[in-house]
Amino acid sequence: MQQLFVFIRKEFYHVFRDRRTLLVMFGLPAVQILLFGFAMTSEMKNARMVISDNARDVQSQQLINKIKASSYFTISEAVTDYRDVERAFKKDEVKCALIFPAGFGNDLLNGGRAQVQIITDGSDPNTAKTIINYLTAIITEYRQQQFPAAALPYKITPEIRMLYNEEGNGSLNFIPGVMALILMLVCTALTSVSIVKEKEMGTMEVLLVSPFKPVLVLISKAVPYLVLSFINFTLIVLLSVFALHVEIKGSIFLLFLESTLFIITCLSLGLLISNTTSSQQTALLICMMGLMMPTMVFTGFMFPLENMPWPFRVISNILPSRWYYIIIKAVMLKGLGFKYIWKETLVLAGMTLVLLTIALKKFKIRLQ
């Protein structure tokens, strides 16, 4: 036991000696959570739009003013020629075009059937769909204001309640996901170099000739990073609460407990990578290049997992961050207790056990 403490102390010296790396490890994830928390949003705003108003009458002008009044669109200078519309799309200056044919107002008042055309940039299909939805809503509203007789006499109104997020805080959708993503990548990368670095420097030999057990080597490598990651997590939570105004609805104790488990899972993955690679460069490339995109895609915060073809849903199960994302959403945002997340917790615990066992098996106690 005495021996273990000595070794853990050695590892702490390693970590704390390098002040600059320490600063980078704490500073960057903190800046990231702030940056993404403030910047990312799932709402659409300021979509650039060009209007070709061939009617130029009171009605088309009223409708244009109504669109201008919403925060969804930024309207660029009106063009008249259809070819100008095409040019604007090719230059990527606009996301959509609204075209009024000549005689719009006249058709609306007298014929009873007026027409407008919406053209969207389909190369960004998601935005295109949202634009169509918003514009249709604005046009329908305009029509009902102008022609109360056209409104339905028997009206069903859907009343929408946003659960867990009444103020419509757009960053709530991303914060748990970004937290899972950052923690997963940072924790894995931290430990992934720990053993391979000693191999590269040649100091591994010194460790191996000592009567110290392999499992204790792994533990002593992981402990300082566990402490660091825990502090890092605390920092991220504090920033989310005080800077991004995310309210923690569930038990803070449970949140930290589950997060510690997740950190240990990631550290074990890092140790496994460290034991199976031969250079720091390979280890880091696997962590960053190999894990970054899959973690982002399969955690489920950007792309709904249920929409994926079944082989991918199966693949997503092997990523710890996918399970942690469910846990953190449940505890932090929905305020649910342990009985809702025991399955996910069990999965994470099982993964940790498997990863650590393989890491230990792969730990070579001979040099060649």
Partner 1 sequence: MSPLPFILQKEFRQIFRDKTILAMMFALPIIQLIILPLAMNFDVNSVNIAVVDHDHSAYSRQLIAKVLSSGYFNITGSEPSYPRALEHIEKGEADIIMEIPTGFERNLVREGAQKIALSVDAINGTKAFIGSGYLNAIIKDFDENLPLNVTATAAGVGNIDIAYSNWYNPRAESKYYLVPGILVLLLTLIAGFITALNIVKEKETGTIEQINVTPIKKWEFIAGKLIPFWIIGMVVFTLGVLVCRFVYGILPQGSVALLYLFAAVYLVALLGFGLLISTFCDNQIQAMFVAFFFMMIFMLMSGLFTSVESMPPWARTISNLAPITHFIKVVRMIILKGSGMADTSSELAYICGFAVVLNAWAIWNYRKTS
Residues from 296 through 335 that contact partner 1 (CB under 8 A): 296-298, 302-304, 306-309, 312, 315-316, 326, 329-330, 333-334
Which among 157-165, 222-230, 251-259, 260-268 is the span making contact with partner 1, rule CB under 8 A? Answer: 157-165
Residue 350 interacts with partner 1 (CB under 8 A)?
no
CB of 277 to partner 1, least distance (A): 8
Strand partners, 50: 97
Residue 288 interacts with partner 1 (CB under 8 A)?
yes
- What element of type H or E holds 48? strand 47-53
CB of 288 to partner 1, least distance (A): 6
Residue of 54, 61, 76, 146 interacting with partner 1 (CB under 8 A): 146
Q: Binding marks (x or -) toward partner 1, 66..85, rule CB under 8 A? A: --------x-----------
**How far apart are the C-alpha atoms of 154 and 132, rounded to whole Å?**
26
Task: Find, among 352, 309, 355, 301, the residue nearest to 329 by Cα.
Answer: 301
Residue 62 interacts with partner 1 (CB under 8 A)?
no
Q: Binding marks (x or -) toward partner 1, 93..112, rule CB under 8 A? A: --x------------xx--x
Residue of 154, 209, 211, 366 interacting with partner 1 (CB under 8 A): 154
- What residues contact residue 16 under an 8 Å CB cut-off, 6+ apart? 22
SS3 75: strand
Of 132 and 346, which has the nearer Cβ to partner 1? 132
Positions 256 through 285 that interact with partner 1 (CB under 8 A): 278-282, 284-285
**How far apart are the C-alpha atoms of 97 and 261, rounded to whole Å?**
51
> For 117, left (φ over 0), alpha (ψ -120 to 50), or beta?
beta
CB of 295 to partner 1, least distance (A): 11
- What residues contact residue 54 under an 8 Å CB cut-off, 6+ apart? 80, 99, 100, 101, 102, 104
Positions 20 through 49 that interact with partner 1 (CB under 8 A): 20-21, 24-25, 28, 31-32, 35-36, 38-48
Task: Record the tokens describing residue 41, joined without a space.
Answer: 């949003």
Contacts for 58-67: CB closer than 8 Å, 24+ residues apart: 58/105, 59/104, 59/105, 59/108, 59/109, 59/114, 59/146, 60/100, 60/104, 60/105, 62/142, 62/146, 63/100, 63/116, 63/138, 63/139, 63/142, 66/138, 66/141, 66/142, 67/98, 67/135, 67/138
Which among 182-190, 214-222, 232-240, 351-359 is the span making contact with partner 1, rule CB under 8 A? Answer: 182-190
- What residues contact residue 285 under an 8 Å CB cut-off, 6+ apart? none
Which among 3-11, 154-162, 225-233, 254-262 is the span making contact with partner 1, rule CB under 8 A? Answer: 154-162
Positions 193 through 252 that interact with partner 1 (CB under 8 A): 193
Residue 121 interacts with partner 1 (CB under 8 A)?
yes
CB of 112 to partner 1, least distance (A): 4
Of 7 and 36, which has the nearer Cβ to partner 1? 36
Helices (H), 193-251: 194-201, 204-209, 214-242
Residue 182 interacts with partner 1 (CB under 8 A)?
yes
Residue 338 interacts with partner 1 (CB under 8 A)?
no
CB-based burial label for 61 (10 Å; 0-12, 13-18, 19+): middle
Q: Look-up: residue for tokens 């928390």?
A: 37
**How far apart are the C-alpha atoms of 321 and 175, rounded to whole Å?**
13
Of 77 and 167, which has the nearer Cβ to partner 1? 167
CB of 156 to partner 1, least distance (A): 5
Which among 1-9, 113-121, 214-222, 258-266 is the span making contact with partner 1, rule CB under 8 A? Answer: 113-121
